[in-house]
Chain A
């Protein structure tokens, strides 16, 4: 931690040194005709080669002051204002302050309605902030994200998030629509050429996910719309890459997307054995963007993935807009996608477990080797139609097929405190599994102020999935404490399962009008939600044991069973909500509250081949929840939000908990049911707070949030655990009186802008603690499990030339037992991450990452050092050669810690080891009719 702080201080002081030998240009802009000062005139300073050094809008009194201008160099001072002739002059700063009062002449005869367009970098057009890309002199290959890093007030965070004056921009659109049908802003900002963009607009938009009565000013979404030039509304871009390295490592990536005004299509895929997961099409597109500013150093071989995986995937996504509009109120769009993916995994796992047992701690060493092959097909379709913010119709359909085969060999040794072996368990298993799922959901909502009784929202969901599996298991358990505990099984499990779920939710928002007519019930909104759900699961487990005498599998009647479970639920909910608000020219604030009253009617029927499980039950629960929020927004200063939520609900025990079918094949996890389990009652309380600065001209911008939750459960289902001296474990379901858990999570992000450079500090952390009563070896114990996680990342970006990342993650887990004689455990990990990218002029990039991991369960820290060198080649920088050196120190081990109420576990798995790889990538890119060309830039005045 000290090293981390030291590095931070060095970096911060370094940025100060960089700013030496500069001066300030200041003055006032006036109208030559009237002498009036001109507000929002654009003052820009360029180098002789026309590259932009700095710019500013004049203030309300025409004044401007541009600091950090290089001394002694010839620079061009340009002032522009709509309707006036632009002013430009070559100047040289000889002293720290250069004063220039600029007089602009009108460039039009008003009666002739002539308008002169000047290159203003940013301007306000009504309530919309407009950014003009043409005013920013940048590399011809720059993408939108590169441009945004140069816009005052806009911060592109290291994770791709965009904020404006401290406020997050959750919605980034291209011509009013999600680009390529994706909600991921990076798809647009990291691919679209800056030269293809006419302007970028930032404005507030209604959050259509909220009901009208919930839509307050502070809930509106800050939206960024990238408006493409008319001749650039058609284009394509992508990446094709192949790489081969030592130890037979290889990778191949494909991403290709094309679009026009209404339609877009993208294909993506990949094949690698470097643990780079590529089964998500959107992630693939995102990982293969043409980014410059913040190279994705983590989209490489993933050393933290367990095992060696050979991944493959291929897929496509098609989007079509049936209407051609550039506003986001109106949508009529279909998106379809298909992905075929899979992997071939080889995993070795060594787990070391400390077990909590009475006066007799046990240490478990588990060695597992798994070979697994799986193959997936996924298809999805989405349709959305909206005409305004008050109506919404969407359909989502998804279908998938999964096939997998796996072979596992597992050897478990259990030792006592004197390191004597108390038992061993050797397990061989082979499984074939095939599953399929289909889902369909449809939503329709309609709000109408003129006809309040016709306001409703309908949601329908249908899910169906089925699976078949065939598993052969040979298990030999030997006890060195008690021979009578020895068991040998050769068992076959043939399972089929199908689940159908049909749910509907009908929300009626016209209840107040319907009940009271024009009487507004003191401003309290009333709505009635009705949820209906039907679920049917059909499971058939056929279990057979091998008869070595007859050489046949014989049906195991104790375990073979059929079970059909049908759940029918009906839950009407009455909601009462009310809001108060107050505003002035300086602030806006509001309070919103609601309470929900719900009656749950539940019918749970079970039909089983075991008579005891033929259980039909009916439940009726009355539950309620409430919410209170407060928002305060001080214009151009800050805003914050406070929210409080309370919820009470009920759970009942499933038939599998009441009448568990006990399979004792796994000697370490034998489950026994309990027919006397009571219903659980949960009381949960949640508090959340958010804060962000919103000073347009501030050098610092920051935002933060805090979430806290507390849950109190009455009659929780917990375990009574019996540890056998041989290491066998038997769990009995029991009720406890109560359990509690609480959690706290928080984050803080700060950015300091230094002209074209910035420093970002992102911090997030969480603390959670649960107190669960249980019995361990008949001793009552309250287990307190605590986890404390902290993650901090500092990024320094110096004019996009040097990007330095320093991150630290610190996690601790602790389990305390209140029961006498039971052991408590604690472990922790401490990871320090360094990343450095240097974009050397021209087109060369070198970068490196170092991960330093300390863990209480390993003797020496592990260092993972990767380094990369790449150069952009070919015409228009469309090719890239990259050399990767991974795990240079050859000492990486994949180690992870987990903790639960019965002990802590350290897992050591196989994974990637040192390799070197050479990768060639080609980026096909074309926006509009003309190929993106590396052309000479001529300054347009």
Chain B
């Protein structure tokens, strides 16, 4: 009986161990192939956008999708254009003059767009930011930031000034319901010798739980590293999030407060960080910069992971480069998004080339600007007529109206 019990316990451990092993995805950035985008796209729907005066939609425009609106953000010009879900223009809002270094953050739970601006009158160094953020209760430090809110339930879309709180400074984003999440990872000898977490979950503005502790004062692999963070994102599965961390090839799954490694992106040796990177701290910022410059194709971080049945969108940052890939689970082959081609089945519109766009309720959305539409029009295959919504964009073929493409990814 004891033997049986022992075997049963051992088997359970083996099963748990096997269950905890991440699925390995072998991906060679250099060898990732090309494909027509129709190979991945299942269905497409078009939302022509009503023309707006004075606001251009460029290649670099961002898109926010809510239940009621499409919100296009022009980062260059500092304005946003609100359309209803049929593409009808609702409102244009200019925010450039309100402050600097900000872009809107969508809070789904509160149906708000939040802007945390830095005050244009001040230039802040890293040291300043640390001092301000660690002593934000001090009234003197309030002046460096400004907060504005657009209430999406208010049809006037007025930018209303709000009080900046210590929680705002953390740059947390809405994960789900009233749960918020931080992502910034920062190490400096200006911090006290304290432990922080790469990912911190808040319920509204109350700290709930932290994951992946690190020392804010001297965690060697993060020392002198700028702009790094752990990314927590929806996995597409209920109550499950994916977390990716700097300098690691593992995609973690967070579900019911339990973290497990879900995937490991196995990269070729030339893209993998050497052991010495983790063991020998950099002496200064310059030494780190030179290492990154000299090893530009080594892994910095996996940024985004979108999973859609058969395919996974994976964005990888390298020390001096950047790449976006589609991984085919069925054939275990990978494709480079920058090599995917718009084809006639998808009306020669670059829907996932370079950027798959934004995901909302298991659908993907991408803004196509006028310049791109013109090129597509020139390549129009007469045997495959445009759907009427897309055709509507070309009433003036020399100056077409931009369109939002809603598409789904094949799951088979």
Contact = CB atoms under 8 A, between A and B. Distances in A.
Interface of A: 31, 33-39, 61-62, 82-83, 106, 108, 110-115, 126, 325-327, 329-330, 387-388, 390-391, 449-452, 513, 518-520, 522-523, 582-585
Nearest to B125: A450
A518 B124 CA distance: 6
Contacts of A111: 26, 332-333
B321 A520 contact: no
A451 B28 CA distance: 40
B290 interface: yes
Interface residues of B, number: 44
Contacts of B60: 584-585
19 contacts: A34-B33, A34-B39, A36-B36, A37-B341, A39-B34, A62-B341, A83-B32, A110-B332, A113-B268, A115-B30, A115-B31, A329-B289, A451-B125, A518-B123, A518-B128, A523-B120, A582-B76, A584-B58, A585-B58
A114 B294 contact: no
A452 to B, nearest CB: 6
B155 interface: no
B108 interface: no
Given A61-B341, A450-B127, 14 more contacts: A34-B33, A34-B34, A36-B35, A108-B31, A110-B28, A111-B26, A111-B332, A112-B26, A114-B31, A126-B320, A449-B125, A518-B123, A584-B56, A584-B58
B290 A387 contact: yes
Which of A114, A326, A585 has the most B CB atoms < 10 Å from its CB? A585
| Most chain B beta carbons < 10 A, residue from A31, A35, A106, A111 | A111
Nearest 8 Cβ contacts at the A-B interface: A520-B123, A34-B35, A110-B333, A585-B59, A113-B28, A36-B36, A518-B122, A387-B286
Nearest to A126: B321
A83 B333 CA distance: 12
Nearest to A325: B294
B386 interface: no
B299 to A, nearest CB: 15
B293 interface: yes
Contact of A31 (B35, B122, B321): B35
Greatest chain B CB density within 10 A among A33, A36, A390 is at: A36
B236 interface: no
Contact of B126 (A82, A450, A518): A450
B379 interface: yes
B26 A34 contact: no
A82 B35 contact: no
Contacts of B339: 36, 38-39
Nearest to B24: A111
A666 B294 CA distance: 67
Contact of A452 (B125, B332, B379): B125
A106 B290 CA distance: 36
B63 to A, nearest CB: 16
Chain B interface, >50% SS class: loop
Nearest to B26: A111
B331 to A, nearest CB: 8
Contacts of B333: 110-111
Contact of B31 (A82, A326, A513): A82
A61 B144 CA distance: 50
A325 B320 CA distance: 17
Nearest to B322: A126
Interface string B299-342: 00000000000000000000011000000000011100001110
Contacts of A126: 296, 320-321
Contacts of A110: 26, 28, 31-33, 332-334
Contact of B121 (A106, A390, A391, A519): A519
A363 B109 CA distance: 98
Contacts of A35: 36, 343
B289 A388 contact: yes
B379 A61 contact: yes
Nearest to A35: B36
A731 to B, nearest CB: 58
A451 B289 CA distance: 17
B31 A83 contact: yes
Nearest to B348: A61
Nearest to B34: A36
B144 A518 contact: yes
A36 B379 contact: no
A491 B129 CA distance: 77
A583 B76 contact: yes
B50 to A, nearest CB: 22
Contact of B290 (A37, A388, A450, A520): A388
B35, B128, B339, B340: most-surrounded residue (chain A CB, <10 A): B339
A78 B290 CA distance: 39
Given A35-B36, A126-B321, A327 B122 contact: no
Contacts of B59: 585
A451 B33 contact: no
A387 B35 CA distance: 43
Nearest to A31: B34
Given A34-B35, A388-B289, A327 B294 contact: yes
B285 to A, nearest CB: 8
A112 B339 CA distance: 20
A62 B35 CA distance: 12
A325 B126 CA distance: 29
A83 B35 CA distance: 13
A806 B341 CA distance: 49
Interface in B92-131: 120-128
B288 to A, nearest CB: 10
Contacts of A114: 31
A329 B288 CA distance: 13
Contact of A34 (B36, B127, B332): B36
Nearest to A34: B35
A188 B36 CA distance: 44
- Residue of A38, A518, A582 ringed by the most chain B CB atoms within 10 A: A518
A312 B241 CA distance: 79
Contacts of A582: 76
Contacts of B268: 113
Nearest to A112: B26
A38 B32 CA distance: 13
B121 A330 contact: no
Given A449-B125, A450-B125, A450-B127, A106 B58 contact: no
B384 to A, nearest CB: 15
A114 B127 CA distance: 46
Given A126-B296, A585-B58, A388 B128 contact: no
Contacts of A518: 122-124, 128, 144
Given A110-B28, A126-B321, A584-B58, A519 B290 contact: no
Nearest to A391: B286
B341 A330 contact: no
B189 to A, nearest CB: 12
Nearest to B127: A450
Nearest to A453: B125
Contacts of A330: 290
A34 B328 CA distance: 13
B339 to A, nearest CB: 7
Given A329-B293, A450-B126, A38 B26 contact: no
Contact of B286 (A37, A82, A388, A522): A388
Contact of B33 (A31, A452, A522, A585): A31
Contacts of A115: 28, 30-31
Contacts of B32: 83, 110
B283 to A, nearest CB: 11
Contacts of B287: 387
A106 B33 contact: yes
Nearest to A387: B286
Nearest to B379: A61
A655 B265 CA distance: 79
Contacts of A522: 121
B309 to A, nearest CB: 18
A62 B339 CA distance: 11
A110 B327 CA distance: 11
